Homo-oligomer: A and B are copies of this chain.
Amino acid sequence: YSPDFSERETLYTHLNVFEQFNPVIPDSLRETPFVFLANIGPELQLHVLDQMKKPEFVAMDTMNFWIERSYYAVREVIARVDGLIINDEEARMITGQKNLIRAMEEIKEWGPKVLIVKKGEHGAVLLLDDGFFYLPAYPVRDIVDPTGAGDTFAGGFMGYLASADEITPATVRAATVAASALASFNVEGFGVEKLKEISDENIRQRVEEFQKMTCLALDR
């Protein structure tokens, strides 16, 4: 991480146990309706997906390591999921487009109905069936530990969707803001210590603040 946590560099990727990992999904979990394919190799992601029975919504993460090493397999997973969550650098890398808007429009054409591009301290951009949506990062004064912010975001996002009545662009936007509020607590403490202290009400408050910080229509 850079001194202000706004940038990071991957020094090594050690696959360790994942090198030989062959995930078998227990029968009891194969009908799980909301599936998140976290950042493992695309072949493993496909292997997991093949074991699932008609999931309602599948989202995935990936990273530069897999984009470089297994480009076509990554593309294959993207074509099969409903939602893709990546960062801006990965979106540019996977398309070769320098302009992020163009990169996102290209990825959207590969299939996913929901494309979420995270930009760290600059928030996130969504491209959905009805257009772009922007949200800032919650203004955090003391970043203690950004590790896991992306996974917290993904977890909050999937959890929100799973509790929603139906999945529409409007639900997806609301899920993203809620997930972003959740992730903002994550970076304020080491590991998950802060997340263990907060309640639904704390998250709701930040969602409301997000709205006040972006909507002219809600003008105070």
Contacts and interface: CB of A to CB of B under 8 A. Distances in A.
A177 interface: yes
Nearest to A98: B4
A99 B134 contact: no
A218 B217 CA distance: 8
Contact of A141 (B3, B102, B211, B213): B102
B130 A220 contact: yes
Interface stretch (A21-29, A45-53, A79-87, A116-124): A116-124
A122 B118 CA distance: 12
Contact of A214 (B99, B100, B135): B135
- Stoichiometry (number of copies): 2
Contacts of A98: 3-4
A100 B121 CA distance: 9
Interface in A36-67: none
20 contacts: A99-B143, A105-B141, A122-B123, A123-B134, A125-B136, A130-B220, A131-B212, A131-B213, A132-B213, A133-B213, A133-B214, A134-B213, A134-B214, A170-B220, A173-B219, A174-B219, A211-B215, A215-B215, A215-B217, A215-B218
Given A122-B122, A211-B215, 20 more contacts: A3-B98, A100-B121, A123-B134, A123-B136, A125-B136, A130-B220, A132-B139, A132-B213, A133-B213, A133-B214, A134-B213, A134-B214, A169-B220, A170-B216, A170-B219, A174-B216, A211-B216, A214-B215, A215-B215, A215-B218
